[in-house]
Structure 1
Amino acid sequence: MRRTIEGPSEVAGALRRTGPFSPQEGERLEEEKTMDDMVTTDRLAAMSSAEAQSLVDRLVAGRPVLAQALSVMPIQSPHMRYQWLVTSDTVIPGDITPLEAADRHDPTLDEVIVDLARGHGAD
Protein backbone atom coordinates (compact mmCIF):
# COMPACT_ATOMS: atom_id res chain seq x y z
CA MET A 1 0.00 0.00 0.00
CA ARG A 2 1.30 3.45 -0.89
CA ARG A 3 0.67 6.60 1.09
CA THR A 4 1.67 9.95 -0.37
CA ILE A 5 3.32 12.49 1.88
CA GLU A 6 2.14 15.82 0.57
CA GLY A 7 5.08 18.07 1.31
CA PRO A 8 8.44 18.66 2.90
CA SER A 9 6.97 19.61 6.28
CA GLU A 10 5.21 16.25 6.46
CA VAL A 11 8.42 14.56 5.33
CA ALA A 12 10.32 16.39 8.06
CA GLY A 13 7.73 15.32 10.61
CA ALA A 14 7.99 11.71 9.52
CA LEU A 15 11.77 11.84 9.58
CA ARG A 16 11.81 13.45 13.00
CA ARG A 17 10.14 10.33 14.33
CA THR A 18 12.90 8.09 12.93
CA GLY A 19 15.91 9.92 14.59
CA PRO A 20 18.60 10.13 15.80
CA PHE A 21 20.06 12.76 13.51
CA SER A 22 23.37 14.53 13.13
CA PRO A 23 23.34 18.33 13.49
CA GLN A 24 23.47 18.64 9.69
CA GLU A 25 20.46 16.37 9.27
CA GLY A 26 18.56 18.38 11.89
CA GLU A 27 19.34 21.59 10.01
CA ARG A 28 18.23 19.99 6.74
CA LEU A 29 14.95 18.89 8.34
CA GLU A 30 14.26 22.40 9.51
CA GLU A 31 15.07 23.74 6.04
CA GLU A 32 12.71 21.21 4.46
CA LYS A 33 10.02 22.08 6.99
CA THR A 34 10.16 25.75 6.05
CA MET A 35 11.13 25.19 2.38
CA ASP A 36 7.56 24.96 1.21
CA ASP A 37 4.83 23.95 3.61
CA MET A 38 2.25 23.99 0.85
CA VAL A 39 3.59 21.45 -1.65
CA THR A 40 0.36 19.63 -2.27
CA THR A 41 -0.44 17.55 -5.31
CA ASP A 42 -2.19 20.57 -6.87
CA ARG A 43 0.70 22.91 -6.06
CA LEU A 44 3.19 20.42 -7.47
CA ALA A 45 1.17 20.11 -10.67
CA ALA A 46 1.17 23.90 -11.02
CA MET A 47 4.96 24.11 -10.72
CA SER A 48 7.13 24.54 -13.76
CA SER A 49 9.61 21.77 -14.46
CA ALA A 50 12.41 24.03 -13.22
CA GLU A 51 10.61 24.66 -9.91
CA ALA A 52 9.89 20.96 -9.41
CA GLN A 53 13.50 20.11 -10.28
CA SER A 54 14.71 22.64 -7.71
CA LEU A 55 12.53 20.98 -5.08
CA VAL A 56 13.88 17.54 -6.00
CA ASP A 57 17.45 18.87 -5.92
CA ARG A 58 16.94 20.26 -2.41
CA LEU A 59 15.55 16.94 -1.15
CA VAL A 60 18.38 14.95 -2.75
CA ALA A 61 21.18 17.27 -1.55
CA GLY A 62 23.41 15.47 0.92
CA ARG A 63 21.78 12.12 0.23
CA PRO A 64 24.10 10.31 -2.21
CA VAL A 65 21.93 7.20 -2.38
CA LEU A 66 19.04 9.28 -3.71
CA ALA A 67 21.29 10.88 -6.33
CA GLN A 68 22.38 7.38 -7.34
CA ALA A 69 18.77 6.16 -7.42
CA LEU A 70 17.63 9.06 -9.60
CA SER A 71 20.57 8.50 -11.95
CA VAL A 72 19.27 5.00 -12.78
CA MET A 73 15.56 5.88 -12.72
CA PRO A 74 13.97 5.93 -16.19
CA ILE A 75 11.45 8.56 -15.04
CA GLN A 76 12.74 12.00 -15.98
CA SER A 77 9.81 14.21 -14.94
CA PRO A 78 10.84 16.18 -11.83
CA HIS A 79 7.19 16.19 -10.76
CA MET A 80 7.06 12.39 -10.80
CA ARG A 81 10.48 12.13 -9.17
CA TYR A 82 9.31 14.33 -6.29
CA GLN A 83 6.23 12.16 -5.82
CA TRP A 84 8.44 9.06 -5.81
CA LEU A 85 10.74 10.53 -3.16
CA VAL A 86 7.89 11.32 -0.74
CA THR A 87 5.60 8.34 -1.33
CA SER A 88 5.88 5.37 1.02
CA ASP A 89 6.29 2.00 -0.59
CA THR A 90 5.66 -1.47 0.82
CA VAL A 91 8.79 -2.70 -1.00
CA ILE A 92 10.89 -0.66 1.44
CA PRO A 93 10.99 -2.38 4.84
CA GLY A 94 8.85 -0.41 7.26
CA ASP A 95 6.59 0.93 4.49
CA ILE A 96 8.51 4.21 4.41
CA THR A 97 9.43 6.71 1.70
CA PRO A 98 12.70 6.59 -0.24
CA LEU A 99 13.55 9.89 1.45
CA GLU A 100 13.06 8.40 4.92
CA ALA A 101 14.98 5.27 3.97
CA ALA A 102 17.93 7.30 2.67
CA ASP A 103 18.21 9.14 5.98
CA ARG A 104 18.62 5.88 7.86
CA HIS A 105 22.04 5.31 6.22
CA ASP A 106 21.42 1.57 6.04
CA PRO A 107 23.24 -0.20 3.18
CA THR A 108 20.42 -2.73 2.85
CA LEU A 109 17.80 0.02 2.50
CA ASP A 110 20.09 1.90 0.11
CA GLU A 111 20.15 -1.15 -2.17
CA VAL A 112 16.35 -1.40 -2.03
CA ILE A 113 16.00 2.29 -2.93
CA VAL A 114 18.26 1.99 -5.98
CA ASP A 115 16.57 -1.23 -7.15
CA LEU A 116 13.15 0.36 -6.72
CA ALA A 117 14.21 3.41 -8.74
CA ARG A 118 15.71 1.26 -11.48
CA GLY A 119 12.49 -0.73 -11.76
CA HIS A 120 10.26 2.26 -12.54
CA GLY A 121 9.08 2.63 -16.10
CA ALA A 122 9.73 5.73 -18.18
CA ASP A 123 7.29 8.65 -17.95
Structure 2
Amino acid sequence: MFGSAINTLNAPTKLDAFKQSGSNFARRDAYLGEILPNTTVSAYLASMQSGTGVSDPATWDWSKYDPWITDYYNRGIKILLIMSYNTGWLSHDGTWWSPPTNWVVYEDVVKKNLSALSR
Protein backbone atom coordinates (compact mmCIF):
# COMPACT_ATOMS: atom_id res chain seq x y z
CA MET A 1 0.00 0.00 0.00
CA PHE A 2 1.37 3.34 -1.02
CA GLY A 3 -0.36 6.67 -0.85
CA SER A 4 -0.01 10.41 -0.50
CA ALA A 5 -1.50 13.45 1.19
CA ILE A 6 -2.41 15.75 -1.68
CA ASN A 7 -5.25 18.23 -1.29
CA THR A 8 -5.42 19.53 -4.83
CA LEU A 9 -4.81 16.50 -7.03
CA ASN A 10 -7.76 16.91 -9.39
CA ALA A 11 -6.41 16.95 -12.96
CA PRO A 12 -7.14 13.64 -14.73
CA THR A 13 -3.64 13.34 -16.22
CA LYS A 14 -2.08 13.89 -12.80
CA LEU A 15 -4.42 11.30 -11.28
CA ASP A 16 -3.35 8.81 -13.93
CA ALA A 17 0.33 9.51 -13.17
CA PHE A 18 -0.39 9.20 -9.45
CA LYS A 19 -1.98 5.78 -9.97
CA GLN A 20 0.79 4.65 -12.33
CA SER A 21 3.37 5.53 -9.66
CA GLY A 22 1.93 2.73 -7.55
CA SER A 23 -0.16 4.90 -5.26
CA ASN A 24 -3.53 3.42 -4.43
CA PHE A 25 -4.86 5.81 -1.79
CA ALA A 26 -4.78 9.52 -1.05
CA ARG A 27 -5.61 11.62 1.98
CA ARG A 28 -8.01 14.45 1.12
CA ASP A 29 -10.00 17.01 3.09
CA ALA A 30 -13.71 17.74 3.10
CA TYR A 31 -14.26 21.21 4.54
CA LEU A 32 -17.53 21.38 6.46
CA GLY A 33 -17.74 25.13 5.89
CA GLU A 34 -17.87 24.53 2.13
CA ILE A 35 -20.48 21.78 2.29
CA LEU A 36 -23.05 22.84 4.88
CA PRO A 37 -25.63 25.56 4.25
CA ASN A 38 -25.43 28.73 6.31
CA THR A 39 -27.90 28.25 9.16
CA THR A 40 -28.12 28.23 12.97
CA VAL A 41 -27.82 25.47 15.53
CA SER A 42 -31.49 25.86 16.50
CA ALA A 43 -32.63 25.64 12.86
CA TYR A 44 -30.47 22.56 12.30
CA LEU A 45 -31.87 20.87 15.43
CA ALA A 46 -35.44 21.61 14.32
CA SER A 47 -34.62 20.21 10.89
CA MET A 48 -33.26 17.01 12.47
CA GLN A 49 -36.67 16.43 14.05
CA SER A 50 -38.51 16.71 10.75
CA GLY A 51 -35.84 15.07 8.58
CA THR A 52 -36.09 17.88 6.04
CA GLY A 53 -34.43 21.25 5.51
CA VAL A 54 -30.85 22.13 6.41
CA SER A 55 -30.10 18.79 8.11
CA ASP A 56 -30.95 16.93 4.90
CA PRO A 57 -27.71 16.24 2.97
CA ALA A 58 -29.64 16.76 -0.27
CA THR A 59 -29.59 20.49 0.59
CA TRP A 60 -25.80 20.54 1.09
CA ASP A 61 -23.29 21.69 -1.52
CA TRP A 62 -21.26 18.69 -2.73
CA SER A 63 -20.17 20.40 -5.97
CA LYS A 64 -16.51 20.75 -4.94
CA TYR A 65 -16.29 17.09 -3.91
CA ASP A 66 -18.40 14.87 -6.18
CA PRO A 67 -16.28 15.34 -9.33
CA TRP A 68 -12.91 14.46 -7.82
CA ILE A 69 -14.30 11.68 -5.61
CA THR A 70 -15.82 10.08 -8.72
CA ASP A 71 -12.52 10.48 -10.61
CA TYR A 72 -10.58 8.83 -7.77
CA TYR A 73 -12.94 5.88 -7.48
CA ASN A 74 -13.06 5.38 -11.25
CA ARG A 75 -9.27 5.00 -11.16
CA GLY A 76 -9.29 2.65 -8.18
CA ILE A 77 -7.75 5.22 -5.83
CA LYS A 78 -9.09 4.89 -2.31
CA ILE A 79 -9.63 8.05 -0.28
CA LEU A 80 -8.76 8.67 3.36
CA LEU A 81 -11.26 11.49 3.79
CA ILE A 82 -10.69 13.94 6.63
CA MET A 83 -13.66 15.94 7.92
CA SER A 84 -11.85 19.24 8.21
CA TYR A 85 -12.56 21.94 10.70
CA ASN A 86 -16.02 23.24 11.45
CA THR A 87 -18.54 25.68 10.05
CA GLY A 88 -18.94 29.16 11.48
CA TRP A 89 -22.54 28.80 12.66
CA LEU A 90 -21.68 25.70 14.71
CA SER A 91 -18.50 27.03 16.32
CA HIS A 92 -17.89 28.88 19.57
CA ASP A 93 -16.33 31.94 17.92
CA GLY A 94 -17.84 31.91 14.42
CA THR A 95 -14.73 30.51 12.72
CA TRP A 96 -13.98 27.14 11.14
CA TRP A 97 -11.25 26.44 13.72
CA SER A 98 -13.29 26.60 16.92
CA PRO A 99 -14.88 23.55 18.58
CA PRO A 100 -18.59 22.90 18.05
CA THR A 101 -21.13 24.50 20.36
CA ASN A 102 -23.47 21.53 19.96
CA TRP A 103 -22.02 18.02 19.77
CA VAL A 104 -25.34 16.42 18.79
CA VAL A 105 -25.44 18.55 15.64
CA TYR A 106 -21.73 18.00 14.94
CA GLU A 107 -22.10 14.22 15.26
CA ASP A 108 -25.09 14.29 12.90
CA VAL A 109 -23.15 16.39 10.37
CA VAL A 110 -20.10 14.11 10.44
CA LYS A 111 -22.17 10.92 10.09
CA LYS A 112 -24.12 12.34 7.16
CA ASN A 113 -20.95 13.60 5.45
CA LEU A 114 -19.24 10.24 5.77
CA SER A 115 -22.32 8.44 4.51
CA ALA A 116 -22.76 10.78 1.54
CA LEU A 117 -19.09 10.81 0.55
CA SER A 118 -18.44 7.08 1.01
CA ARG A 119 -18.74 4.88 -2.04
TM over 0.5: no
Is the strand fraction higher in 1 or 2? 2
Larger Rg: 2
More helix by share: 1
